[in-house]
Chain A
Amino acid sequence: MGHALHESIRVLKPGGRVVDIRPYFPASLGKRRHARQQVYCQVAHEVNLVATLAREYVDFHFADRVVAEAVAGRMLASSARIDFVFRHYFDSLELFDQCRARWWDKAHIPVADRRLLERTLRRHPSAVIRVDTPVQLQVLTKV
Protein backbone atom coordinates (compact mmCIF):
# COMPACT_ATOMS: atom_id res chain seq x y z
CA MET A 1 0.00 0.00 0.00
CA GLY A 2 3.04 2.27 -0.23
CA HIS A 3 1.55 4.11 -3.22
CA ALA A 4 -1.28 5.37 -0.96
CA LEU A 5 1.07 7.59 1.02
CA HIS A 6 0.72 10.55 -1.36
CA GLU A 7 -3.05 10.32 -1.12
CA SER A 8 -2.93 10.44 2.67
CA ILE A 9 -0.68 13.53 2.51
CA ARG A 10 -3.32 15.20 0.34
CA VAL A 11 -6.06 14.77 2.96
CA LEU A 12 -3.84 15.96 5.84
CA LYS A 13 -3.96 19.53 7.12
CA PRO A 14 -0.68 21.48 6.93
CA GLY A 15 1.49 20.34 9.82
CA GLY A 16 -0.59 17.15 10.12
CA ARG A 17 1.11 13.85 10.97
CA VAL A 18 1.44 10.53 9.21
CA VAL A 19 1.83 7.73 11.76
CA ASP A 20 3.28 4.59 10.22
CA ILE A 21 3.43 1.43 12.35
CA ARG A 22 4.54 -1.73 10.64
CA PRO A 23 6.83 -4.72 10.84
CA TYR A 24 10.37 -3.58 10.26
CA PHE A 25 12.65 -5.92 8.35
CA PRO A 26 15.42 -3.66 7.08
CA ALA A 27 17.22 -5.00 4.03
CA SER A 28 20.53 -4.16 5.70
CA LEU A 29 19.97 -6.85 8.36
CA GLY A 30 19.51 -9.57 5.74
CA LYS A 31 18.37 -12.90 7.19
CA ARG A 32 19.59 -12.43 10.75
CA ARG A 33 17.23 -14.25 13.09
CA HIS A 34 16.63 -11.38 15.51
CA ALA A 35 15.46 -9.21 12.61
CA ARG A 36 12.68 -11.65 11.69
CA GLN A 37 9.48 -12.88 13.34
CA GLN A 38 10.32 -15.32 16.11
CA VAL A 39 8.02 -17.98 17.52
CA TYR A 40 8.16 -19.00 21.18
CA CYS A 41 6.37 -21.60 23.27
CA GLN A 42 5.38 -20.36 26.69
CA VAL A 43 4.58 -22.79 29.50
CA ALA A 44 3.98 -20.96 32.77
CA HIS A 45 7.16 -18.89 33.20
CA GLU A 46 9.26 -20.96 30.81
CA VAL A 47 9.74 -19.45 27.35
CA ASN A 48 11.50 -21.31 24.53
CA LEU A 49 12.36 -20.06 21.07
CA VAL A 50 11.13 -22.72 18.65
CA ALA A 51 11.00 -21.13 15.21
CA THR A 52 11.88 -18.19 13.03
CA LEU A 53 9.43 -17.22 10.30
CA ALA A 54 10.56 -16.39 6.79
CA ARG A 55 8.47 -14.33 4.40
CA GLU A 56 8.66 -12.13 1.34
CA TYR A 57 10.07 -8.76 2.35
CA VAL A 58 9.62 -6.97 -0.99
CA ASP A 59 6.51 -5.03 0.09
CA PHE A 60 8.16 -3.85 3.31
CA HIS A 61 11.24 -2.64 1.49
CA PHE A 62 9.01 -0.91 -1.08
CA ALA A 63 7.17 0.94 1.72
CA ASP A 64 10.54 1.91 3.26
CA ARG A 65 11.55 3.42 -0.09
CA VAL A 66 8.24 5.30 -0.52
CA VAL A 67 8.61 6.91 2.92
CA ALA A 68 12.28 7.75 2.30
CA GLU A 69 11.36 9.38 -1.03
CA ALA A 70 8.59 11.46 0.58
CA VAL A 71 11.11 12.69 3.17
CA ALA A 72 13.79 13.36 0.54
CA GLY A 73 11.20 15.20 -1.58
CA ARG A 74 10.33 17.42 1.42
CA MET A 75 6.68 16.34 1.49
CA LEU A 76 7.19 14.88 4.97
CA ALA A 77 9.72 15.42 7.75
CA SER A 78 10.59 12.64 10.16
CA SER A 79 9.59 13.59 13.73
CA ALA A 80 10.12 10.33 15.61
CA ARG A 81 11.19 6.75 15.00
CA ILE A 82 10.86 4.05 17.63
CA ASP A 83 11.58 0.34 17.36
CA PHE A 84 9.73 -2.12 19.56
CA VAL A 85 8.57 -5.74 19.68
CA PHE A 86 4.90 -6.46 19.03
CA ARG A 87 3.48 -9.70 20.42
CA HIS A 88 0.70 -12.01 19.31
CA TYR A 89 -0.40 -14.97 21.47
CA PHE A 90 -2.18 -18.06 20.16
CA ASP A 91 -3.87 -20.77 22.23
CA SER A 92 -3.49 -23.45 19.55
CA LEU A 93 -1.46 -24.42 16.52
CA GLU A 94 -4.60 -24.19 14.37
CA LEU A 95 -5.16 -20.54 15.32
CA PHE A 96 -1.49 -19.78 14.74
CA ASP A 97 -1.66 -21.33 11.26
CA GLN A 98 -4.89 -19.50 10.40
CA CYS A 99 -3.48 -16.11 11.39
CA ARG A 100 -0.12 -16.83 9.78
CA ALA A 101 -1.94 -17.38 6.49
CA ARG A 102 -4.31 -14.46 6.87
CA TRP A 103 -2.13 -11.74 8.38
CA TRP A 104 1.42 -12.61 7.44
CA ASP A 105 1.24 -13.66 3.80
CA LYS A 106 1.66 -17.33 4.70
CA ALA A 107 4.98 -16.69 6.44
CA HIS A 108 7.03 -19.86 6.08
CA ILE A 109 8.34 -22.02 8.95
CA PRO A 110 11.39 -24.14 8.16
CA VAL A 111 10.57 -27.87 8.44
CA ALA A 112 12.87 -28.48 11.42
CA ASP A 113 11.39 -25.50 13.30
CA ARG A 114 7.85 -26.72 12.59
CA ARG A 115 8.70 -30.16 13.99
CA LEU A 116 10.16 -28.61 17.12
CA LEU A 117 7.03 -26.48 17.57
CA GLU A 118 4.74 -29.51 17.18
CA ARG A 119 6.89 -31.64 19.53
CA THR A 120 6.87 -28.91 22.17
CA LEU A 121 3.09 -28.54 21.95
CA ARG A 122 2.60 -32.33 22.24
CA ARG A 123 4.74 -32.33 25.37
CA HIS A 124 3.01 -29.26 26.82
CA PRO A 125 -0.59 -29.14 25.54
CA SER A 126 -1.30 -26.04 27.63
CA ALA A 127 1.57 -24.09 26.04
CA VAL A 128 0.81 -20.77 24.43
CA ILE A 129 2.43 -19.81 21.12
CA ARG A 130 3.93 -16.34 21.17
CA VAL A 131 5.09 -14.55 18.05
CA ASP A 132 7.42 -11.56 18.43
CA THR A 133 7.50 -9.19 15.48
CA PRO A 134 10.06 -6.37 15.19
CA VAL A 135 8.01 -3.25 14.56
CA GLN A 136 8.83 0.37 13.87
CA LEU A 137 6.69 3.40 14.62
CA GLN A 138 7.47 6.46 12.52
CA VAL A 139 5.86 9.83 13.00
CA LEU A 140 6.17 12.10 9.96
CA THR A 141 5.01 15.70 9.74
CA LYS A 142 3.48 17.16 6.57
CA VAL A 143 5.77 19.94 5.40
Chain B
Amino acid sequence: MKGVRVDPERRETRILRRHVPFAGARVLDIGCGDGRLSNRIRGWIESIVGVDQAGEDIGRAHARKRLDGIACFAVADASRLPFQDRSFDLALYSWSL
Protein backbone atom coordinates (compact mmCIF):
# COMPACT_ATOMS: atom_id res chain seq x y z
CA MET B 1 0.00 0.00 0.00
CA LYS B 2 1.42 3.37 -1.01
CA GLY B 3 2.42 5.47 1.99
CA VAL B 4 2.83 2.42 4.25
CA ARG B 5 6.18 0.72 4.85
CA VAL B 6 6.30 -2.61 6.63
CA ASP B 7 9.59 -3.49 8.33
CA PRO B 8 11.75 -1.53 5.87
CA GLU B 9 14.77 -2.23 8.10
CA ARG B 10 14.18 -5.95 7.35
CA ARG B 11 14.77 -6.98 10.96
CA GLU B 12 12.33 -9.85 10.56
CA THR B 13 14.10 -11.12 7.45
CA ARG B 14 17.53 -10.93 9.10
CA ILE B 15 16.35 -12.79 12.20
CA LEU B 16 14.62 -15.44 10.09
CA ARG B 17 17.74 -15.99 8.03
CA ARG B 18 19.87 -16.37 11.16
CA HIS B 19 17.61 -18.82 12.99
CA VAL B 20 15.64 -20.83 10.41
CA PRO B 21 17.12 -23.54 8.13
CA PHE B 22 15.56 -22.38 4.86
CA ALA B 23 18.10 -23.92 2.46
CA GLY B 24 16.32 -26.14 -0.05
CA ALA B 25 13.13 -26.15 2.01
CA ARG B 26 9.62 -26.69 0.76
CA VAL B 27 7.71 -24.04 2.69
CA LEU B 28 4.03 -23.65 3.55
CA ASP B 29 3.18 -20.00 4.34
CA ILE B 30 -0.02 -20.17 6.40
CA GLY B 31 -2.00 -16.93 6.45
CA CYS B 32 0.30 -15.60 3.73
CA GLY B 33 -1.73 -12.43 3.11
CA ASP B 34 -0.39 -10.59 0.08
CA GLY B 35 2.77 -12.71 -0.02
CA ARG B 36 5.00 -10.13 1.69
CA LEU B 37 7.09 -12.63 3.60
CA SER B 38 7.09 -15.25 0.82
CA ASN B 39 8.63 -12.57 -1.36
CA ARG B 40 11.35 -11.77 1.17
CA ILE B 41 12.49 -15.37 1.64
CA ARG B 42 12.16 -16.42 -2.00
CA GLY B 43 15.92 -16.56 -2.61
CA TRP B 44 16.62 -19.08 0.15
CA ILE B 45 14.10 -21.85 -0.45
CA GLU B 46 13.16 -24.50 -2.97
CA SER B 47 9.48 -23.65 -3.24
CA ILE B 48 6.67 -22.04 -1.32
CA VAL B 49 2.93 -22.56 -1.12
CA GLY B 50 0.93 -19.73 0.42
CA VAL B 51 -2.58 -20.15 1.79
CA ASP B 52 -4.97 -17.56 3.17
CA GLN B 53 -8.70 -17.30 3.70
CA ALA B 54 -8.83 -13.83 2.12
CA GLY B 55 -9.23 -14.14 -1.65
CA GLU B 56 -8.39 -10.46 -2.15
CA ASP B 57 -4.96 -10.91 -0.51
CA ILE B 58 -4.29 -14.08 -2.50
CA GLY B 59 -4.97 -12.04 -5.66
CA ARG B 60 -2.27 -9.55 -4.61
CA ALA B 61 0.15 -12.40 -3.82
CA HIS B 62 -0.41 -13.80 -7.32
CA ALA B 63 0.47 -10.41 -8.76
CA ARG B 64 4.04 -10.57 -7.35
CA LYS B 65 5.92 -11.42 -10.53
CA ARG B 66 9.17 -12.11 -8.68
CA LEU B 67 7.55 -15.21 -7.19
CA ASP B 68 6.66 -16.74 -10.55
CA GLY B 69 8.02 -20.26 -10.82
CA ILE B 70 8.81 -20.62 -7.13
CA ALA B 71 5.52 -19.93 -5.36
CA CYS B 72 1.86 -20.74 -5.71
CA PHE B 73 -0.99 -19.31 -3.66
CA ALA B 74 -4.44 -20.60 -2.86
CA VAL B 75 -7.48 -19.72 -0.79
CA ALA B 76 -7.68 -22.36 1.95
CA ASP B 77 -8.80 -22.90 5.52
CA ALA B 78 -5.73 -23.38 7.73
CA SER B 79 -7.58 -25.85 9.92
CA ARG B 80 -8.30 -28.10 6.89
CA LEU B 81 -5.23 -27.88 4.69
CA PRO B 82 -5.64 -29.48 1.25
CA PHE B 83 -2.23 -31.21 1.38
CA GLN B 84 -1.02 -34.72 2.09
CA ASP B 85 0.73 -35.68 5.34
CA ARG B 86 4.46 -34.94 5.48
CA SER B 87 4.53 -32.64 2.44
CA PHE B 88 6.55 -29.69 3.77
CA ASP B 89 9.83 -28.94 5.53
CA LEU B 90 8.64 -25.67 7.08
CA ALA B 91 5.28 -24.28 8.15
CA LEU B 92 5.50 -20.53 8.45
CA TYR B 93 2.99 -18.48 10.43
CA SER B 94 3.64 -14.79 9.97
CA TRP B 95 1.29 -12.90 12.34
CA SER B 96 -1.29 -15.60 11.71
CA LEU B 97 -1.25 -18.20 14.50
Which residues of A pack against B, CB within 8 Å?
1-5, 7-14, 16-23, 63, 66-67, 80, 82, 84-92, 95, 99, 135, 137, 139
Please give, as numbers and ranges, the residues of chain B lying within 8 Å of A80 by CB-CB distance.
19
Chain B positions within 8 Å of A, measured between CB atoms, are: 1, 3-9, 11-12, 15-16, 19-21, 28, 30-31, 78-81, 83-97
Number of A-B pairs, beta carbon distance below 8 Å: 120
Nearest 10 interchain pairs by C-beta: A4-B78, A91-B3, A8-B91, A89-B5, A4-B79, A13-B86, A80-B19, A11-B83, A19-B92, A63-B97
Q: A8-B28, A16-B90 are in contact. Are A67 and B85 (CB under 8 A)?
A: no
Are A95's CB and B11's CB within 8 A? no
| CB pair A86 B89 closer than 8 Å | no
**The one of B9, B81, B85, B93 that contacts A21, using a Cβ cutoff of 8 Å:** B93
The verdict on A7 contacting B88 (CB below 8 Å), with A21-B94, A87-B7 known, is no
Can you list 12 A-B contacts with CB-CB less than 8 angstroms, sorted by A residue number?
A1-B78, A4-B78, A10-B85, A12-B90, A18-B91, A23-B95, A82-B19, A87-B9, A87-B11, A95-B4, A99-B4, A137-B12
